[in-house]
Amino acid sequence: MAAEIVYTEIKFKNTPPPAEAKVTFLMGNPSCEMHKALPQGSAEWHCVVGRDEGKGRVWTCCPLGWEPFQASCYYFSKDIMNWDDSERNCTGMGSHLVVINTGTEQDFISNYVKRTVIGIKVENYYIGLAQQKKGQWHWLDLTPYNKTAAFWIPGEPNNLSVEKCVAVDTSQKENMNWNNFPCIIPSHRICETAATNI
């Protein structure tokens, strides 16, 4: 049986017409749960098929190199930067440092970073939580900070006068792995943007 090829064109805000992104899907076995978008021009997308109530099959798509989870795409950097440069880098990719809203999202992030750290090397990943005034934490997207949905390492946050930015600390075995750091310390970063559903 020959595979059916379906072409989908997606238009993005702030994209000049010559660089219009196109996504090409190769459809094969309908029971296959993962499909990879094929390159068309310079845009390549990774798509996961799912079901949306009342709409049938829906594809959740993220740029290649980003990880899909629920309604978002996550970029886990391999390089390191300070917190301000990390946020600028995310913004330059049309995203922001991750805002963790639920325990399920925290579990996804914790499990992903634990899988990517090799050996005993400890890595830290900046998230979009920072201290505006001593002891007052704020998310970059202005989502209210909720102490009951916080995942601090026991004893953290501490050193509030100098440690004003938050990172996921991969040395922790549990998912309670937020640690506050001086914002000038280079760390990895996790960027988040909305997934594209088609």
Where are the chain's structural domains?
4-64, 75-191
Q: Where are the beta strands (DSSP E) in 110-170?
A: 124-133, 136-139, 165-169
Query: Is pLDDT above 60 for 3?
Result: no
Rounded CA gap, 152 and 104, in Å? 15
Reference 154, options 169, 135, 132; nearest CA is: 169
Q: What is the pLDDT of residues 71-121, one digit of tens each?
A: 999 999 999 999 999 999 999 999 999 999 999 999 999 999 988 876 657
Q: List the beta bridge partners of residue 168.
A: 125, 178
Q: Give the pLDDT confidence of 133-192 residue by residue, as tens digits.
A: 988 999 999 988 998 889 999 999 999 999 999 999 998 888 899 999 999 999 999 999
At 136, list the tokens: 């007052």
Q: What confidence score (pLDDT) does residue 93 get?
A: 93
Superfamily of domain 75-191: Mannose-Binding Protein A, subunit A (3.10.100.10)
Contacts of 188 (CB under 8 A, 6+ apart): 76, 77, 78, 79, 80, 123, 124, 125, 126
Percent of the chain with pLDDT strictly greater than 70:
74
